[in-house]
Structure formats: structure tokens, C-alpha cells
């Protein structure tokens, strides 16, 4: 599997480290449709505003795309175009495979009101000082998985790769779920895992699929 890597920042560099059959596209080697067609799949961790500019070219190339680009909203017409052109794309704010185990836990936690009358939730995220979005996309995903209104707080300090916790409090009990990324390689491993599925799994449906749904399908849950 030959990977077309858009951008080779901190996370993209981990993709190159883990997968040698990778061609890097950056300012020194700008992507074109012809160059992309020599690859099997695209992986992008570009900033959202830059990634958006490449979307028409990526659609035209017709190869699968795995993107962790954040900081933008998916245009409904783009999503429809991806499906209508029989393309397979995967997106996520967080490509940690372990995060998908946490997703199941949070969805279960969201049912707490069936057991308790008085429940409060809060989510906190901590990332490096260069992270632009606050709260993180992952924190917002946790809110969606929980299915409740929740207080979200965020801090940007040092070179923290990624830390999130969600806490549930009742008058008599408290539960806290924590996920901490120890190495950016976890995001690269998850993106490569998704890329391999897009290339080799013929049962994946056309369109834009969230990474969590891809993992859920693999785990048969």
C-alpha cells in the first residue's frame, strides 16, 4: 500500500516513520492529480483551511482519503459528492484506536439518568499551546457520544499531546473516564489502520465514514 501523505508535521511525520512506502506532499513537492494517482490512499493531517483547498483535487483523483484535518465544517454538498462519485473517505478528530473503546464507555455513561435522578457531567481537555481549536474536536465528540448537555473546559499548556476526561457526579457517586495520548504515533497508527481498511475491505460503503464507525464495524459492535 503506497500512502500519499499530505503534510509531514508532528503527526504526519509519525506516519512516515511507521510506513516506509509513503510519498510526502508539501511545499517542496506539491500534490497533483497525476501524482496522487500513483498512490493507493491519501492520509492528511493538514490544518483544516489548507485541507479544504485540496478537496476538489482529492475527489478528482478518486483514491481513498483518510483525514484528521480539523478546524472546519464539512460542506453537505462535498459529502454528497463523495458518495455520488463512489469514493471512500474516513475522517476523525482523533485517530486513537483506544478512543473508540472510550466511546462505548461514554455512551453507556450517557444512560445514567435511567439510574439516578440528579446527575451532572463535565468534560475537560488539555493540549499543547499550538492547538488552535478550543475545546478540542474530541471533547465535542465526547459531548455528542454522551447525548447530554455538559460543561466543557479546556487548557493549552506546554507540549501536551492530548488529554481528556469526562466526569459524572451524583450526590452519592462519581465516575471519571480518562484518556491520555502518550505518543503521537497512536494517531498515525490509527490513520494507517483506517487506510488499510479503505484499500482492502470491499464491504465499506461509499461516502464519508467516521473513524469510530469503521472501528465499530471491525469489532462487530
**What percent of the chain lies above the pLDDT cut of 90?**
81
Average pLDDT over residues 145-153: 95
Average pLDDT over residues 78-107: 93
pLDDT interval class at 8 (50, 70, 90):
confident
Q: What is the pLDDT of residues 13-38, one digit of tens each?
A: 899 999 999 999 988 899 999 999 99
pLDDT at residue 10 above 90? Answer: no
List domains and CATH numbers for the chain.
3-95+185-219 (3.40.50.720), 98-180 (3.30.360.10)
Q: What is the pLDDT of residues 103-121, one digit of tens each?
A: 989 999 999 999 998 999 9
Q: What is the pLDDT of residues 35-85, one digit of tens each?
A: 999 999 999 999 889 999 999 999 999 999 999 988 788 999 999 999 999
pLDDT at residue 221 above 80? Answer: no
Neighbours of 12 (CB within 10 A): 25
What is the average pLDDT value for the chain, to the nearest integer? 93
Please report the pLDDT score of residue 11 as a whole number. Answer: 86
Amino acid at each position: 500500500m503506497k500512502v500519499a501523505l499530505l503534510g509531514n508535521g508532528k503527526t504526519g511525520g509519525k506516519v512516515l516513520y511507521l510506513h516506509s512506502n509513503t510519498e510526502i506532499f508539501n511545499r517542496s513537492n506539491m500534490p497533483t492529480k497525476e501524482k496522487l494517482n500513483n498512490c493507493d490512499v491519501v492520509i492528511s493531517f493538514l490544518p483544516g483551511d489548507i485541507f479544504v483547498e485540496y478537496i476538489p483535487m482529492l475527489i478528482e483523483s478518486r483514491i481513498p482519503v483518510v483525514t484528521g484535518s480539523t478546524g472546519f465544517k464539512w460542506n453537505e454538498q462535498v459529502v454528497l459528492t463523495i458518495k455520488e462519485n463512489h469514493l471512500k473517505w474516513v475522517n476523525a478528530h482523533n485517530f486513537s484506536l483506544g478512543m473508540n473503546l472510550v466511546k462505548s464507555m461514554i455512551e453507556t455513561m450517557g444512560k445514567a439518568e435511567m439510574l439516578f435522578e440528579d446527575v451532572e457531567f463535565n468534560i475537560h481537555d488539555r493540549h499543547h499551546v499550538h492547538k488552535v481549536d478550543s475545546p478540542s474536536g474530541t471533547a465535542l465528540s465526547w459531548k455528542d457520544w454522551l447525548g447530554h448537555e455538559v460543561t466543557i473546559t479546556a487548557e493549552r499548556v506546554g507540549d501536551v499531546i492530548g488529554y481528556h476526561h469526562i466526569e459524572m457526579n451524583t450526590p452519592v457517586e462519581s465516575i471519571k473516564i480518562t484518556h491520555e495520548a502518550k505518543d503521537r504515533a497512536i494517531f498515525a497508527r490509527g490513520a494507517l489502520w483506517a487506510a488499510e481498511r479503505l484499500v482492502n475491505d470491499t464491504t465499506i460503503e461509499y461516502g464519508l465514514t467516521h473513524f469510530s464507525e469503521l472501528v465499530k464495524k471491525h469489532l462487530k459492535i
